[in-house]
Amino acid sequence: MGKYDLYLKKQSDGSKSCTFCDKNFNKQKDGNTNVYLNHFKKFHIKVFQKIQGNSLARSEDEPPAKKSQPLIDECFSEFSENGPKSLAIQRAIAQLISSAALPLSLIEHPGFKNLLHLTVPRFRPKSRLQLTRNELPALYDEYRDKLKMSLASSEDVSVSFDGWTDSSQKHEYLALIVHFVEENKPAYRILEVVDVSAKSHTGEFLAEKMKSAIDFFGISTKIRCCVRDGAANARSASVEICDVNFDCLGHKLNLAAKAGTANFAGLDSLVLKLKKITKKIRMSSNLRREWEQIFEEMDAPTLVLKKHVETRWTSLYEALKRAIRVKEQLELFLQDQDNLEFITASEWKTCEAVLDMLQPLNDSIKLVQVCGNLEALQETEVQLQARSFSASSIIPVCRVILADLQTKKKHMTARTKIIEKLSEELEKYTNLKYLNIATLLDVRFKSGFVDSKWKDELLTMMLATITAAEEGDSDSDNDGVTDVSQSHSDPFSRFLQSSSSKISKVPLDKKSVLVGVSNKLYMMDKQKNYRNMIGGYRSTRTLM
């Protein structure tokens, strides 16, 4: 049956006619269908398109589809106070203000009103008072409920908290952050921000405030560890939250870096000068143009000076590094600035010395921040600042930094201060079962950074898990993750090579058992008991 037969009627003499217009066609020889093709293409285009394979074409005997058109009342009601489009736009405005930290006065700004008038002239935004009393609280409740649902599906979470005070010393806040795994990716959310200005910040008071939020989100039984700073009240509060708690490595590195850099004469004056120069350029449009013009005349890409933040040692490293990079342009700029102090030759030498001392800390942190992907080290500095530092990295980072600092001979007084501070903290970290097991479970580090007793402990845990678990199949969890020991140019591989003879080995019989256990666990990854054992270690994230 040909493709045209459905639309043709066969006559008694063997000829055929069109079923739509009764056009008669002479009997065709050799199965020629050109006459049909030309006829349908000229007089029945819809049928022709359908014959040619256009499934969307409508047959001519089918009634044309009616276009749906909204009623007049529906059109006008879309932009009424509670119309669907008005509600959607109002919600988007509330999202913009809250996510971008914009002032509430934006809703009343003439420029913003003009934008709305041009884009959606029929929309009438709600007042600032309505936004404050209704829209933002409703949006907060919506996202709070979404977070509550996400945490309900998580088996293991970790929390971290810290406090800060504004520049006026009038407001003091405590931020509680939850860390968990969402869609097989690490995630963190602000659980609660509490104003703690009313009372003295005792450990009991802080714990009470945090427990209220933890109970609301229903994660009190899911918390596997708590990360905090080293203050006495923070330690006391964290014990009330979770038995497993430890100091944030970021705080400790900052203190160690401060202890080391304090031994460099002239560093404080250098930092103060750079801060003043950076502020002047940012605040003055004339100075900013002069700065940019120098780069244009030297045919170089414009780079701005970076601001140093006291609470982050990495900001000091980045600020000094950028100053060295634009040294030539900076000196030219300062020649015409009578109100800005010139940076002396001795201060430039101090800058280079501090960078040389802080280099091991920076290299080690950046290496683990890329989650084992060594190729990502070629990415930009901004991409490397992602929050990807896990609890499993703490012990390896401390060991690697100490090893690098001990091998270098320059600036020994300053290096000794950092070594003493980090050694003290490493001793605390290495006594925590949680961090040692986490390091062993991290495919980037495995067993090269912990003592053999923790390998035996993990082996015992794995054997107990196998006994309790049922048989099952799974996929490997370490696809696409690179073992840092496979690269010979990074500080982690250098540490493993130099300390290979010192690392205590697992006895041969235990090694054989461990291989068998690992293979069996590979086939049991979907089992709930196994996930309960390792889930908490994966969910821990340390804020840097």
- Residue-wise pLDDT for 305-350, tens only, equals 998 887 777 788 899 999 999 999 999 999 888 888 899 999 999 9
Q: Give the pair of three-digit tokens for residue 349.
A: 């030498």
Q: Strand 8-10 and strand 245-247: pairing?
A: unpaired
Q: How far apart are alpha carbons 534 and 529 in whole angstroms?
A: 9
Mean pLDDT of the chain: 78
3-state SS assignment for residue 64 = coil
Q: What is the pLDDT of residue 114?
A: 93
The answer on pLDDT for 223 being more than 90 is yes
The answer on pLDDT for 232 being more than 80 is yes
| pLDDT tier, 397 (very low <50, low <70, confident <90, very high otherwise) | confident
**Which residues are within 8 A (CB) of 416 and not within 5 positions of it... i.e. 6 or more apart?**
none
Give tens-digit pLDDT for 350-360: 999 999 888 88
The answer on pLDDT for 410 being more than 60 is yes
Q: What is the pLDDT of residue 485?
A: 45
Other Cβ atoms less than 10 A from the Cβ of 83: the count is 16
Q: How far apart are alpha carbons 356 and 333 in whole angstroms?
A: 26
**Which residues are within 8 A (CB) of 258 and not within 5 positions of it... i.e. 6 or more apart?**
313
Q: What are the b/e assignments for 114-148, b being 16+ CB within 10 Å?
A: eebeeeeeebebbeeeebeeebbeebeeeeeeebe
The answer on pLDDT for 248 being more than 50 is yes
Q: What is the pLDDT of residue 24?
A: 82
Q: What is the pLDDT of residue 500?
A: 53
The answer on pLDDT for 522 being more than 70 is no
The answer on pLDDT for 373 being more than 50 is no
What percent of the chain clears pLDDT 90, i.e. is strictly above it? 28
| pLDDT tier, 266 (very low <50, low <70, confident <90, very high otherwise) | confident
Give tens-digit pLDDT for 104-142: 999 999 999 999 999 988 888 888 999 999 899 999 999
The answer on pLDDT for 369 being more than 60 is no
Give tens-digit pLDDT for 464-500: 878 776 555 444 444 444 454 444 456 666 666 665 5
> Which residue type is seen at 26?
N
> Which residue type is seen at 201?
H
